[in-house]
Amino acid sequence: MPDIDEWIHEIGKVGDLLHQMQAAEGGAGNISLFLPAETTGLRGFCLARFPRDREYRLPGDVSLPHGTLLVTGSRRRLRDVLTQPDTALCAIQVESDGTSYLHHSKNQVIEPTSEIDSHIGIHAVQLAGAPKVSAVVHAQPPNLTYLTHVPEYRDQGRFNRQLYRWQPETIAMIPQGIRLLDFETPGTPHQGGLTQDAMVRHKIVIWAKHGVIARSTEGPMEALDLIEYAEAAATYERFDIQAGRPADGLSLDELKAITARFEIHAPVLDNMPSDILQQAG
């Protein structure tokens, strides 16, 4: 398992890549990473580099196992994590008795992202009480976010049908489907609860008119991979809209043939319409 410095570097690299893809402008976007207590260097990190500030009550009726949650701070730039992690990250240390404490650099006062409710809920689903690596990444990729401003795309089956028709990799890498949630006021407990429920069966969720959030048990980079696959599909879809919808893309039968060839169980196909949107008029 990577040590604490390697994990921090990975968070920073993901933040930098999100900035490059114009999905994390200014203080937008957030990343969290739960690490088991035995992660190399973690104990010293929480004692010296990020000392304890105060007791911190986890939001919602959830609990996390013994370990530490690294999380980007509210109104902090993701692109700064790579070069100035102490100015952009804080940590929530969860003790074996369930109590938790906020930690941050001695020279900073950093509060967790305003979307901490969603992050904590997703980690609770993904960890299910077992201390292991758990990553959550939220960003605002322009093409994915734009499509959810178009009313005809705010239907679960339709949204997936339009996006999954562009690349075989989409069905191969996200066979559960991309869960689409209606717009909710960002950073509220209600949004957190809906997202937690959606993540029971999905690894990537779209918040309509807001952005995307993805989870992984491998680390932030794999969560970013899911976002990149989805954003690539949305980019093709935007191209097709701009061109007047001349492309047909992959048919439903072709998508099923891909899953059969690679023995992929793809629940997303169960509620996907066979037709695609046509040019208006």
| pLDDT tens-digit readout, 177-217 | 999 999 999 999 999 999 999 999 999 999 999 999 999 99
Write the pLDDT tens digit of every residue in 235-262.
999 999 999 999 999 999 999 999 999 9
Q: Tell me the C-alpha to C-alpha distance, in Å, between residue 77 and each of 18, 43, 113, 141, 197.
A: 11, 26, 11, 16, 28
pLDDT at 43 over 80: yes
The residue extents of the domains of the chain are 4-271
Mean pLDDT of 59-69: 91
Write the pLDDT tens digit of every residue in 65-76.
999 999 999 999
Write the pLDDT tens digit of every residue in 86-111.
999 999 999 999 999 999 999 899 99
> Cα(209)–Cα(181) distance, rounded to whole angstroms?
10
Q: Tell me the C-alpha to C-alpha distance, in Å, between residue 28 and each of 34, 110, 113, 122, 138.
A: 21, 15, 10, 19, 9
Write the pLDDT tens digit of every residue in 139-167.
999 999 999 999 999 999 999 999 999 99
> Cα(64)–Cα(100) distance, rounded to whole angstroms?
9
Share of the chain above pLDDT 70, in %: 99
- What pLDDT is attached to residue 60? 79
Write the pLDDT tens digit of every residue in 110-126.
999 999 999 999 999 99
Residue 280's pLDDT band, with cuts at 50, 70 and 90, is low
- What pLDDT is attached to residue 279? 74
Quote the Cα angle for 28-32-37, to 5°: 160
pLDDT at 232 over 60: yes
- What pLDDT is attached to residue 59? 86
244-260: b (≥16 Cβ within 10 Å) or e: eeeeebbebeebeebbe
Element (H, E) at 128: none
- Token duo for residue 143: 């093409």
- Reference 134, options 202, 10, 218; nearest CA is 218
- Reference 149, options 214, 231, 210; nearest CA is 210
pLDDT at 281 over 70: no
How does the average pLDDT of the chain come out, rounded? 96
> Cα(199)–Cα(121) distance, rounded to whole angstroms?
9
DSSP 50-67: S-EEEE-PPSSS----SE
* Architecture of the domain spanning 4-271: 3-Layer(aba) Sandwich (3.40)
Mean pLDDT of 21-27: 95
Non-local CB neighbours of 49 within 8 Å, separated by 6+ positions? 86, 105
- Token duo for residue 227: 């976002």
